Amino acid sequence: MESDFIDELLKEAEEKEQKLSMELADLVLIEISQLQKQVETNFEMAAREREIIKNWSLKINSKLVSRIEFISKKLEVFIKETGEKTINLPNGILKMHKKSDRVEVEDLELFLKNARPQWLTVIPEQAKPNLAAIKNHIKTRPTPKGVKIIEGDVEFSYKLNGVEDGKEEVGAGIKQAS
């Protein structure tokens, strides 16, 4: 009888221990759930912060870009007033350069009737104008029928002297002259 009593006590102790470990396991699952929610919250907060910083950066940089465009326009006026095509300065180079003329086929049918083979790029079942060949032809001979020459604009650009991270700074301020 005494051994039954001890066995029962042991069995009860094991059941209590097992019940306690199940409660502990459930508490651990609750903690994991809370930690995962905190991780999600941290990522959401970081995303909001990135958006705030991005918007701030766009606002500040748009003002700076406007200032660069304004100053660049002043440099363009300056080089036009001097009549020079290139001005070398200690901190950079100002340039006025004419873009090359463009060739455009206005009337494809008229052009194809009079086109020479070298003026065409033939793709199976299709013939397209070879604009580079037409442009070379126009340099020394009359313009083919159906082709229009669009004269290149004069543009202003600047190039800054200075090396940053191994790259030479080039001004994005290329503007068309009016």
Beta-carbon contacts of 34 under 8 Å, excluding residues fewer than 6 positions away, are none
- For 19, 101, 153, 163, the CA distances from 150, given in Å and listed in that order, are 88, 6, 9, 37
- Pull the structure tokens for residue 101: 């003329």
Element (H, E) at 114: helix 108-114
Residue closest to 174 by CA, chosen among 102, 95, 88: 95
**pLDDT tens per residue across span 117-130:** 777 777 777 777 77
Cα–Cα distance measured from residue 94 to residue 35, given in angstroms and rounded to the nearest whole number: 59
**pLDDT tens-digit readout, 63-109:** 999 999 999 999 999 999 999 999 999 988 999 988 887 888 888 77
